[in-house]
Amino acid sequence: MRTDSSPGTLPAREHLPAGDAGTPVLDVVIPVYNEEKDLQPCVLRLHEHLRRTFPYAFRITIADNASTDTTPLVSRRLEAEIPEVRAFRLEQKGRGRALRTVWSASDAPVLAYMDVDLSTDLNALLPLVAPLISGHSDLAIGSRLARSSRVVRGPKREFISRAYNLILRGSLQARFSDAQCGFKAIRRDVAQVLLPLVEDTGWFFDTEMLVIAERAGLRIHEVPVDWVDDPDSTVHIVRTATEDLKGVWRVGKALATGALPLDRIARPFGDDPRDRDVQDVPKGLARQLVGFCVVGGLSTLFYLLLYSVFRQFCGSQIANALALLVSAVANTAANRRLTFGVRGRGGAVRHQAQGLVVFGIGLALTSGSLAALDAATSDPAHSTELAVLIAANLAATVLRFLLFRAWVFPERDENPSRSTVVTTHTPSTTPSATPAYGTQQPYAPLPTRPTANHYATAPHTPYTPYNPQSSYTPQTPYTPQSPYDATVPSQQVWPTDTDPRNS
């Protein structure tokens, strides 16, 4: 985790580092299947738009999903005529399979895809990828269901799209608005971690990827788009909807059983202000409040049970005192471990003694309230007594929590010598290529798009087909026993930090 030199400020994110000048910043993938008529107009229009509006080097990759018409010939002709176009051939169908294969082999730091029919207005492409280049977000999606989106499509597709997203929200607690819009982008370092966890190879691929990313705490940026339905679309709506519902059931089951290793990819990319130590900001207050309320409710039930048992052998006052004493000891022990996370036997006796003092203060507060009421009126109504007791118990509960938090179980800094915001670091004397923590290493400038003269003179390098033996190689072998048993390699995304707090 990087820290900032000015206390109280959030860490600034960096632009994505680019490699040498020949590496494109953006790789736009167009999955196609038997699109011999629409492919060439789509690629020419997209290429002209990127050449005119996109300020960095780019690439357009045609991912042919086992087409049986002349689509492969059109792809190779476009690759030969346009330097930024690459053709890729797969012998199996599946949009998810095509995206996984091409994205895994790409060297561009930002990866995107769009449908060949160009239903989405291309003016949304730069707003889609800009948050990924700047480092603000991890994934970006176009949304046809945003308030400011302008969409032209029939009522049948409108109903299916909204019903599908309602199913995602209700079953998988998805918060993104449009899962199936064919207009998405992802950072390459994020894709390398997420792709081994995505099982689907068809239309449910991007939905599964988005759900996993959202559950892992990654940031998803949504862009309102202008979208016009393609009446000649070859997508089989009923079959696609059925496969999507099967995917929702499979992913929901994996999330419910804990089969997805979300803890391995939780917040590994960029800085997170929740990981920073800031003065005067209490840690875990919400969790402690919930734990305190749960323990309090269980303690009340335990007290009533004890009182009923003791009342069989002694009077009401003695039974009440014994039940309160035992329940107070159990309440302190439960809050010690569950609410405030104190482990071990060290200080347990002192904590119990302090807990009894806190209990005595609360008892004195409630008893004093009743005594004050009796002094104020000789014959108070029963409803008045109940109101006074409820108010006194609420005040005693709040006071008990504050005393527990501040006196009985105070938060202690395990490393007092460390500053709350700025971490000092002494560089090692051993030479290393890793930059010292706290120093800002400038990134290489992003490669700019070559000019038209460069296109005329630069030799064209044929696109090398994807070879899984020579392309992306994880740091640990990927040999899953099931779709969710993959061991995800830890990825270092930003300049190497040596903060000892990072695990």
10-residue stretch averages of pLDDT, the chain, 503 residues long: 35 49 86 91 94 92 91 93 92 89 92 90 92 90 88 80 82 82 90 89 88 87 88 65 82 81 62 59 71 83 81 74 82 85 80 86 78 80 74 79 84 46 38 38 50 45 45 41 44 43 45
Interatomic CA distance for residues 270 and 293, integer angstroms: 35
Chain segment 151-204, per-residue pLDDT in tens: 888 787 778 878 887 888 888 878 888 887 889 999 998 898 889 889 888 888
Instruction: Give backbone dihedrals phi and psi of 438, rounded to 5 degrees, phi first.
Output: 95, -10
Task: Rounding to the nearest 10 degrees, give the CA dihedral for residues 352, 354, 355, 360.
Answer: 130
Chain segment 54-66, per-residue pLDDT in tens: 989 999 999 998 8
Q: Which two tokens stand for residue 352?
A: 């119990």
Q: Which two tokens stand for residue 370?
A: 């009743």
Q: Is the dihedral of CA 117, 207, 138, 435 positive or negative?
A: negative
Q: In angstroms, what CA-CA distances link 354 with 160, 192, 288, 347? A: 61, 52, 18, 10
Helix (H) or strand (E) holding 85, with range, is strand 85-90
Interatomic CA distance for residues 335 and 296, integer angstroms: 9
Q: Which amino acid is at 30?
A: I
Instruction: Dump strand ranges (E) for 107-224.
Output: 110-114, 139-143, 150-152, 183-187, 220-224
The pTM assigned to this predicted structure is 0.56
DSSP tally for the chain: helices H, then strands E = 13, 9
pLDDT for the residue numbered 268: 54
385 — alpha (psi -120 to 50), left (phi > 0) or beta?
A: alpha
Interatomic CA distance for residues 344 and 68, integer angstroms: 68
CB 185 within 8 A of CB 129: yes
Nearest to 493 by CA among 221, 219, 211, 274: 219
CB 96 within 8 A of CB 201: yes
Query: Within a 10 A sphere around the Cβ of 56, how many other Cβ atoms?
Result: 19
Instruction: Give backbone dihedrals phi and psi of 497, rounded to 5 degrees, phi first.
Output: -105, 155
